[in-house]
């Protein structure tokens, strides 16, 4: 029978993966909206701007998130080779690195706050923007961690390899995106500090 099996029509994993890419586009537009808001706002008055040097702790968080992209990729490769134990291990390492990222970002906020670069009640909203960028990005990291944990497999006997790889792909696309997103935001902030 030349006919495509019905189930395949409905599964259409490719189309679902494409939706993830589209989501990344819309998410990136959100950040583009914020950063261009920053530019428009800051350009209006010379007294506005970040006016401070970003704490070094953001360098650590950048390192951590790049490293986590690497472990995410290793998890994906392991999953493709059906090494589910390794896959779980790498996923968990990625999630732990994600946690470290959270910690570093909060530390960065603390340092900024102590310098008087505060979020609320700040007449220079360019500085408040730093918090909005990071908070919005951390929200994405939180979603990414949920995806990571969902990709962890507990019962190896019941794994459908196609589905498993699909889930890993979705997770890794998203995780690499938020990695690149952070680099974009960090470079954007560095260029404006």
Partner 1 sequence: MASTAIQHTLEHSGHSHDDHGHHHETFLTKYVFSQDHKMIAKQFLITGIIMAVIGMLLSILFRIQLGWPDQSFPLLETFLGKWAEGGRIKPDFYLALVTIHGTIMVFFVLTAGLSGTFSNLLIPLQLGARDMASPFVNMLSFWFFFTACVIMMASFFVESGPASAGWTIYPPLSALPQAISGSAAGMTLWLISMVFFIASSLMGALNYISTVLNMRTKGMDMWKMPLTIWAFFLTAILGVLSFPVLVSGVVLLIFDRSFGTSFYLSELVVQGQVLPQQGGSPILFQHLFWFLGHPEVYIVIMPAMGIASEVMATNSRKPIFGYHAMVYSLIGISVLSFIVWGHHMFVTGMNPFLGGVFMITTLIIAVPSAVKTFNWLATIWRGNIRFTPAMLFAIGLVSFFISGGLTGIFLGNAALDIPLHDSYFVVAHFHLVMGSAAICGMLCGVYHWFPKMFGRMMDEKLGYLHFWFTFIGAYLVFFPMHFMGLDGVPRRYYAFTEFEFMKEWLTVNTFVSWAAIIAAIGQIAFLWNFFHSIFYGKKAVQNPWESSTLEWTTPVEHLHGNWPGEIPTVYRWPYDYSKPGHTTDFIPQTTPFSQTMSSNLPHDFEGNPEAERIQIEWQKKQQAEAEQGV
* Residue 154 contacts partner 1 per CB under 8 A: no
* Cβ within 8 Å of residue 187, ≥6 positions away: none
What string marks each residue from 46 to 75 as x (binds partner 1 by CB under 8 A) or -? --x---------------------------
Select 33 or 110, whichever has its Cβ closest to partner 1.
33
The count of residues interacting with partner 1 (CB under 8 A) is 42
Among positions 116, 121, 154, 191, the unique one binding partner 1 when judged by CB under 8 A? 121
Which one of 56-64, 95-103, 120-128, 184-192 is the stretch in contact with partner 1 (CB under 8 A)?
Answer: 120-128
* Residue 192 contacts partner 1 per CB under 8 A: no
* Residue 136 contacts partner 1 per CB under 8 A: yes
Select 68 or 126, whichever has its Cβ closest to partner 1.
126
Cα(93)–Cα(17) distance, integer angstroms: 24
Sign of the alpha-carbon torsion through 39, 191, 135, 112: negative
- HEC string of 55-78 equals CCHHHHHHHHHHHHHHHHHHHHHH
DSSP annotation of 54 reads P
Cα(75)–Cα(72) distance, integer angstroms: 5
Select 60 or 119, whichever has its Cβ closest to partner 1.
119
Alpha helices in the chain (DSSP H): 6-11, 13-43, 57-80, 84-114, 125-151, 161-192
Q: What is the binding site for partner 1 (CB under 8 A)?
A: 1, 3, 5-7, 9-12, 14-16, 18-19, 22-23, 25-27, 29-34, 37, 40-41, 44-45, 48, 119-125, 128-129, 132, 136
């Amino acid at each position: 029978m030349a006919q495509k099996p019905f189930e395949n029509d409905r599964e259409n994993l490719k189309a679902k993966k494409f939706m993830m890419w589209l989501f990344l586009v819309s998410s990136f537009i959100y950040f583009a909206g914020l950063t261009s808001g920053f530019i428009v706002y800051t350009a209006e008055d010379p007294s506005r701007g970040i006016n401070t040097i970003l704490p070094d702790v953001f360098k650590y968080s950048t390192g951590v998130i790049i490293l986590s992209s690497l472990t995410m990729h290793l998890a994906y490769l392991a999953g493709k080779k059906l090494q589910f134990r390794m896959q779980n291990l790498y996923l968990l390492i990625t999630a732990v690195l994600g946690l470290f990222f959270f910690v570093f970002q909060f530390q960065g906020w603390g340092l900024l706050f102590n310098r008087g670069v505060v979020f609320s009640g700040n007449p220079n909203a360019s500085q408040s923007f730093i918090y909005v960028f990071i908070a919005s990005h951390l929200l994405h990291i939180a979603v990414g961690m949920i995806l990571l944990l969902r990709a962890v497999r507990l019962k190896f006997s019941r794994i459908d390899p196609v589905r498993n790889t699909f889930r890993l792909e979705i997770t890794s696309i998203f995780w690499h995106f938020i990695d690149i997103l952070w680099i974009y935001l960090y470079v954007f902030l560095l260029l404006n500090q």
